[in-house]
Amino acid sequence: MSDEQRNTIWRFALIFIIITTGFIAVIGKIVYIQAVERDEWLKVAERQVPTNRPIKATRGNILDANGSLLASSMPQYYIYMDTRVEALRANEGSLFYEHVDSLAHDLANIVRDKSQAEYKSRLIQAYKNKAKRLRVCDRRINYLQRQELLQNPLIKKGKIKSGIFFEDQHRRIKPYGILASRTIGGIYGEGGYGKSGLEKRFDKELRGEDGMSSIQKIGGRYESVTIEEAQDGLDVVTTIDANLQDIVENTLKNKLVEKQAKWGCCILMETQTGYIRAIANLDRAQDEEGKDYYDEAQNHAVQRVEPGSTFKTIALVAALDDGKIDIDDTVSISSKPWVYMRKSKHTDAHPMDTVLTVRSALAVSSNIALAKLITRSYEGSARKFVRKIQKMGLMDSIYCEIPGADLIRIEVPKDTVTLSKMSYGYSVELTPMQILMFYNAIANEGRMMRPMLVHSIQQNGETVRSFRPEVVKSSICSSKTLRDIKGALHDVVWDDHLGTAGVLRWNGKVVRRKAQSDIVHVAGKTGTAQLFIPGHGYSGRHHRMTFVGYFPEENPKYTCICMIEDPHYPYDAGTDCGTAVRIIAEKTMAYTGCYVYQNGEKQLEKR
């Protein structure tokens, strides 16, 4: 073997030995790490893995028709402090102890939930305990308070030196308080899903889409790196006018306080469009001292009830349009109860022995007259009566922006006795919104409009989706029927002898006005229904009062319903609810520029 061959073999052997040794060393290190250092390195690895955190999208606003905020997400902040940062620990904590007094002073004077001494004690104790994430204040602060605190000498040094940082959260607020609160609705927690009202119905649009950030170690310190930007929620523009809402809500509240009623509901609709300009739902509650007050608790506007005499108009429109009766037909009533088929007893609130026309029967709101007229018209064909109401569009499944809205209940009666009670609003159930929709159709020349609460969806002030007025039924009845029923609704308010919503006179002088106003003409219908008490039946002592009408009668702009549950005696639908609608009508027409105030609400002068 030559020297050259021998040298080549030695070189390969050396290379082999080096590679083998390195391989054995790597295998040994792997075994050592797995057997001895495994847990330690796993902890290191966990610390190095980027931590993903969601970036919460800001929930969109709910606005009124004029752009005023009805619900908004406002930023609020928690203040945290990491007392372990190097700058605070350097030189035996000289930086911390130099500024702890000024920090405690500013917190006490800006946040105002603790004294300066309490804040100082809390900060020092946390510093001694090397607190990693001290919540400096127990409650959140607003944006202005945060800006003030940022001027503090220690906080101005930044998070790296002061250890102080702010975490923002968005809180849902309603600037107008309880104004239309149940209709606007609420959300779960501070940033959750909508749970009621418009907040729930338009939750997807309002909520937006969350983004994502990652906490990573960059340049020796941890920084938040945005991976995906959050998409803030869209704004919902409602048809509600905050000024008209204030008028409606205060008028209803004053009447509820006066009558000490259980609850009340009032809705104001724009006649030609169906836009809901105001909607109030107030329930009686008690504070900690046992005093009564009224608050928005349930959305009675979309909860069905027995309507009482407001249903008489619906029944008469059906019979008139079917040609079963004529507006000038007569019917006799008595001061004594009318017993139908030996089973059903019918009485009037104001009994009298007289003969009424169909028109005056509605004005005086006679139960006996309506029961006679409807049973005479549909005896043996009650299904035709219900089908006629269906054809008017009232029983269509009407879309409503308020989740959980009840559907109407008008079923074909199994016997004529039930039909006789249906004629004046028992054994049927409608929501105040549905009653309003029907009367609005009468005011709107027979065209039934869907009640609308939302006008558009916007993003940064630009409309991305709009909602146009929607016609439910182009005509609920013939023009003759419409003309006849309008005349009857006029008499309810303006027939001083029979009208249940007219005036009270004493010695020829008006001592109290109900729905009759000398400023704006109102036409409509009163309704009174005995309440059904489970286990006891219908109660003659507990009632539901209603007035629904439109104004100005000559050229209707608005339709309004006021419903009051269980008012204290004395009660009267015209006096209680009719008066409320009259006040709303006067103030609404003044607000919209038709009239101006001169000397109080009763002295208006037409422009």
491 vs 429: CA distance, rounded Å: 26
**The pLDDT of residue 606:** 47
**The pLDDT of residue 140:** 85
- Residues pairing with 454 in the sheet: 238
**The pLDDT of residue 588:** 95
**The pLDDT of residue 350:** 84
239 vs 269: CA distance, rounded Å: 10
C-alpha distances (whole Å) from 270 to each of 198, 236, 400, 436, 469 are 19, 19, 16, 11, 11
**The pLDDT of residue 151:** 93
Nearest to 372 by CA among 414, 427, 323, 329: 329
How are beta strands 330-333 and 338-340 bridged, if at all?
unpaired
**Taking a C-beta distance cutoff of 8 angstroms, is the pair 55, 213 a contact?**
yes
**The pLDDT of residue 279:** 96
Contacts (Cβ under 8 Å, ≥6 apart) of 219: none
81 vs 96: CA distance, rounded Å: 12
**The pLDDT of residue 258:** 95
Mean pLDDT for back-to-back runs of 10 residues, the chain (607 residues): 68 77 77 72 60 77 92 85 89 90 92 90 91 88 87 90 84 82 82 85 90 65 69 93 96 96 97 97 90 92 96 98 96 92 85 94 96 94 94 84 92 90 95 97 97 95 94 96 97 92 82 89 96 86 96 96 95 95 95 62 45
**Taking a C-beta distance cutoff of 8 angstroms, is the pair 321, 477 a contact?**
yes
81 vs 149: CA distance, rounded Å: 13
Question: What would the two tokens of residue 160 be?
Answer: 């790296």
456 vs 70: CA distance, rounded Å: 15
527 vs 574: CA distance, rounded Å: 8
Query: Which single residue is written with the structure tokens 């945060």?
Result: 146
